[in-house]
Structure 1
Amino acid sequence: MSFALQKSAFLRTIARRSPKVGLTFNSKYVHFRQAPRTQSTLQRDTKRWATSRTPHSTASDPAEEEALLCLEQGTQKLEEGDVEGAKKLYQRSVDIKRNASSLFNLGVTHYHLKEFDEAIHSWKLAIELQPSSADAHTNLASAYLIHSQSRPDLAIQHLQVAAKLAPEDPEIAFNLASVLEAFGRLPEALEYYKRSKRFGVDRAAVHIKDVSTLTTPWPLNFPVVVLVE
């Protein structure tokens, strides 16, 4: 099955939610996040970007301080739209001292530059360091779908993990439901559409109605019409 992507995927930058993007399955618009969330741990309003003031920073480790400074500078470049500049700074941060936030954001820049293999690699490494990151699993799913050698099976797997890690996140639930629906796993899709609706995605109601119709068994006494020539 081919996945028609509109603009980009449903990536997240771990801090701020980037614009939403569209991914269509069977002509249905899927409400995925746009650019990956970048990571910066400083919580400003609703932003979740990783900055030099992460819970893991220590004043006694100069290498870590330098790595986190590069992370901060990279995030600033990304906010300014300089993806290449951000990638170089995130890569430098990783080279100095590997941490989950820099790897996550490095994956974001690779994704924006359509370097999907590299994005997948970065997010896998980020997950090794921070297994509880629902956003990293969400981004991996996006990369697996948009890759030239699409792996929807792995996309579903990572979205399921993300849904377990963030059970009240309505967008993750909606995205997972959409992929499941595209592959005919309708009872599961219905469950996640309902979860998405319950936690705030109102447009999930249309999908709930459609999928419910498809999963409702025909009544046993439904009249059968026989055409006779």
Structure 2
Amino acid sequence: MHSQFLSLSRFAGFSSTTRHYASHSSDSVTAADPETIKAREWFNEGTQKWNNDDLHGALDCFEKSAWTKATGDAYYNIANCQLQLGRHEAAIKSWKKSLELSPNRSDAHVNIANVHALILKDPETALSHYEEALRLEPNDGEIHYNYAVVLDSMGRLEKAVEEYKLAVQNGTAVAEKNLRNAMARLLTKKAEDAAKGAGSGNEK
């Protein structure tokens, strides 16, 4: 690849911000819903263990939370733990389960895309998930940037340049250098293609 991803995964421990890690369950809790209350307790305990770097303990608690009452937040954090523990395929399945329960969670699409791009070496699948994430968050510069990196690595320079530009416009400054490099390579490619075309014409 010609450039690096901003982060492998958009949650605490990988990204520079913790806004992509579900630190508390968003489900409403009522006295008449004991399952939700118990699930919240397991979730909160999992969060504490996560913050104390106890990944196995956190995973156990988040799984118990999800088994008690399935939520997008619980499965999202299960996936985060699984990724940290090197269980990449399991993490993807858990993020997909999170998306079934919370379809508008763009970060799950980003995480799935990053794993496919960086670890599983499946750029086509990565692109499809970046596209879904951008459908949900069209002004997210980080997503545009990682999308551009994969396009760049596949030689799709024109589209990569478009996405690098959008990344810069949306505040991702690291994309500026990549944009210049991609534009230079695109100009070189166009010049080479033009020269080949001229050569073919002369041969006729």
Q: TM-score, normalised by structure 1?
A: 0.75
Aligned pair partner of 2:63 in 73, 88, 91: 91
Contact 1:52 1:69 in 2 (8 A): no
Contact 1:83 1:109 in 2 (8 A): yes
Contact 1:35 1:112 in 2 (8 A): no
Aligned pair partner of 2:153 in 182, 195, 199: 182
Give 1:105 deviation, angstroms: 0.3
SS at match of 2:6: strand
Gaps of at least 5 residues in structure 2 are 199-204
Go from structure 1 to structure 2 and tell me whether the alpha carbon gap of 1:36 and 1:46 turns closer, same or farther (over 3 Å shift): closer
Go from structure 1 to structure 2 and tell me whether the alpha carbon gap of 1:109 and 1:36 turns closer, same or farther (over 3 Å shift): farther
Aligned pair partner of 1:218 in 175, 187, 191: 191
Q: Give the percent of matched residue pairs that are identical in Structure 1 and Structure 2.
A: 28
Aligned residue runs from structure 1 range 1-229, under 5 A: 25-26=1-2, 28=3, 30-37=4-11, 47=19, 49-52=21-24, 54=26, 56-59=27-30, 60-147=32-119, 149-216=120-187, 217-218=190-191
- Within 1, Cα distance between the matches of 2:110 and 2:20? 15
Amino acid at match of 1:86: A
Gaps of at least 5 residues in structure 1 are 1-24, 39-44, 225-229
Amino acid at match of 1:82: D
Contact 2:8 2:114 in 1 (8 A): no
Task: Give structure 1 regions of 4+ aligned residues with deviation exceeding 4 angstroms.
Answer: none
Structure with the largest fraction of helix: 2
Contact 2:59 2:81 in 1 (8 A): yes
- Within 2, Cα distance between the matches of 1:78 and 1:192? 34
- Within 1, Cα distance between the matches of 2:182 and 2:151? 11
Structure with the largest fraction of strand: 1
Contact 1:103 1:122 in 2 (8 A): yes
Contact 1:141 1:155 in 2 (8 A): yes
- How many residues align? The count is 189
SS at match of 2:97: helix
Give 1:177 deviation, angstroms: 0.3
User: Could you say which structure has the greater relative contact order, defined with CA pairs below 8 angstroms and 6 or more residues apart?
Assistant: 2
Contact 2:9 2:110 in 1 (8 A): no
What do residues 114-160 of structure 1 show as CA deviations (whole Å, max 9, x unaligned)?
A: 0011101101111111111110001111222344x432211111011
